[in-house]
A = this chain, B = another copy of it.
Amino acid sequence: MPSDNKIEASINEAPAPRAADKILDVARDLFYREGIRAIGVDEIVRRAGVTKPSLYRSFPSKDELAASYLRKYDLEFWERFDEAVDAHPGNPRAQIIAFLTRVGKRTQKPDYRGCGMTNAAVEYPEHGHPARVVSETNKVELRRRLREMAAAMGASDSDTLGDGLLLLIEGAYISGQLFGLGGPAAAVARNADLLIEASLKK
């Protein structure tokens, strides 16, 4: 057992429930790999070594559990994004390329399953579904940041460039899971670079 942080003990007056964490971990793994609709709550609790009432004590419904999974995914996403940004301060073009290079690499891993957010939105087209709301929020923010970065690059039509980059990214997510190794997603960074180049020369 690793050394526990006193932060959690001191700040959290109520110690975080252990079952909820295990459930969320397992849910994250299964939902991402197999899809949300494909996984039943029974399988989640079984793999987590807990029972169904425990799940419903921590999460009001399966849909909300899915939303929680996506909120966690959202956090990790922005970590990865900001990592690329922080690696190239003041150089938005290098930031984008760094991010996309990593995305392109990840899409070539054999069990790559795309973006959890994107996939959830495909699985739940219904407007207002808890999972979809989280997904949409993430994408809107991503679009905003990409357009912002495109503007910082000095693109004449920065909104178009920002949107173009978003299209390439989403295309890489999907193509990565569709084609697997050797698919078009491997070329996402190169194409983004070409697109940026063309947009700046305009």
Contacts and interface: CB of A to CB of B under 8 A. Distances in A.
Interface stretch (A4-12, A44-52, A88-96, A177-185): A177-185
Contacts of A63: none
A68 interface: no
A184 B166 contact: yes
B123 A37 contact: yes
Contacts of A136: 178-179
Contact of A194 (B33, B177, B198): B198
Chain A interface extent, by class: 35 or more
A120 B84 CA distance: 32
A123 B197 CA distance: 36
A194 B37 CA distance: 39
A14 interface: no
Majority SS of interface residues in chain A? helix
A33 B172 CA distance: 24
Nearest to A186: B163
Contact of A177 (B125, B198, B199): B125
A54 interface: no
Nearest to A164: B191
Contact of A167 (B35, B135, B139, B171): B171
Contacts of A170: 170-171, 174-175, 178
Nearest to A173: B174
Given A125-B113, A170-B171, A163 B178 contact: no
A187 B165 CA distance: 11
A160 to B, nearest CB: 5
Return the 7 tightest CB-CB contacts between A and B, nearest first. Answer: A167-B171, A164-B191, A163-B184, A198-B198, A171-B171, A170-B171, A194-B198
A114 B123 contact: no
A104 to B, nearest CB: 10
A134 interface: no
Given A161-B191, A163-B186, A167-B184, 7 more contacts: A35-B125, A37-B123, A122-B123, A160-B191, A160-B194, A166-B175, A174-B174
